[in-house]
Amino acid sequence: MRAFFFKKNIFFLLFIFTVSIFFLELLLKIYGLGDPIVYETNMSYRYAPKANQSVVRLNKSKVSINESGLRSPNEWRNNNNHKVLFFGDSVTYGGSYIDDKEIFSELVCYNLNLLDKKKYLCGNAGVNAYGVDNINNRILYGELKDSEWIVVTLIEADGFRSLQDVMAIPAFLDKPRFFPAIQEVALHLTWKFNIFLRNDYSNNSTFQIKKKNISINIFKKSFKNLNNTLIQEISKGKKVLVVFHPSKESVLDGIESAEYKLMKNIFKEEKSKIIFLDMFPIIKSSYSSHIYYDSVHLDKKGHFLFAAQISKIINQYDNKY
């Protein structure tokens, strides 16, 4: 009799567990998980999203990676429009919480095509957790060489990240098959736990990074290398805009951090034809809680603000020259 009840209880528990797993998977998929962007690795810039992907993520936001590995719903190759290519980290990429058409790289071309008779095409080569050396190598060794404009958005932490590999993010290299939403959550949690166990703060804030005693010389050298690369691109006929983006904390404090000032000064030490856009005074003067999604990433209003400033500069420059 006891064996009968034991087997019955085991069967009941297994049934509850199975139903719970399927129910959890369903809830996570409704939230927007289960169909992640997948990445590929590279020897020079280490990693980037694989080409030809289109997924629906958080808040039903569409995330599209075109045939050239850029976040954009539009084809890059075989297009004769005036091309604007964006580089940066997750701030530029936009995240999975915001739709393709709402990130500033797409909004810039939307604005330009309203303002100018020229036809513009924008591509977004921003990638989550990129350091300044990832960005530099993507410009140097990436296959995309046909843009008229290069727009690079930088945050101070990019200099401390240096050259990140794919382990810097909870990334899939292929689509998860069984219970993909649960797998996605599990990967994120184990990735976070792994960082915690190793006491590795390389993916946390600049403050935590500095606790690792990373030399400020590495910070300087990385930004100088990028500066030199951009000067080379100008010599090839490209137009270059560098956008400096402050953290929410700095804006609220009303004071630029020492690293932020250093980053800007490194670029401005050498006289060049690089155009600069410092977003600190602009965000400070028009600050609202809807500009930032978190401590550094942009919400929809922030993307609109960036797009307005960038498109204004490009439009004025192209009409002048």
Instruction: Give the pLDDT band (50/70/90) at residue 106.
Output: very high
Is residue 81 assigned to a domain? yes
Is residue 9 assigned to a domain? no
Helix intervals (H) in 98-247: 104-115, 132-141, 157-161, 180-197, 206-210, 216-235
Dump the DSSP string for 257-319: -HHHHHHHHHHHSS--S-EEEEHHHHHHHT--TTSBSSSSSB-HHHHHHHHHHHHHHHHHHHH
At 210 the pLDDT is 47
pLDDT tens for residues 60-71?
999 999 999 999
Q: Specify the residue for token string 């930004």.
A: 223
Is residue 236 assigned to a domain? yes
At 134 the pLDDT is 97
Q: How many domains does the chain have?
A: 1
Q: What is the mean pLDDT of residues 111-135?
A: 93
Is residue 103 assigned to a domain? yes
At 219 the pLDDT is 86
CATH, residue 315: 3.40.50.1110
Q: How far is CA 203 from the centre of its chain?
A: 14
Give the closest residue to 276 by CA, choosing from 307, 313, 318, 222.
Answer: 313
Is residue 104 assigned to a domain? yes
β-pair type (82-87, 120-124): parallel
pLDDT tens for residues 176-211?
999 999 999 999 999 888 877 766 554 444 444 444
pLDDT tens for residues 258-298?
899 999 999 988 788 999 999 999 999 989 989 999 999 99
Is residue 26 assigned to a domain? no
pLDDT tens for residues 221-249?
999 999 999 999 999 999 999 999 999 99
Is residue 189 assigned to a domain? no
Rounded Cα–Cα distance for residues 123 and 202 (Å): 28
Residues 65 and 53: beta-carbon distance below 8 Å? yes
β-pair type (39-42, 46-49): antiparallel
Is residue 1 assigned to a domain? no
Give the closest residue to 171 by CA, choosing from 219, 109, 128, 227.
Answer: 128
Instruction: Give the pLDDT band (50/70/90) at residue 4.
Output: low
**Token pair in block for residue 234:** 């100008």
Q: What is the mean pLDDT of residues 37-50?
A: 96
Domain, as residue range, for 315: 40-168+197-320
H/E run at residue 151: strand 149-154
Q: Specify the residue for token string 């020229």.
A: 118
Q: Is the pTM of this model over 0.85?
A: yes
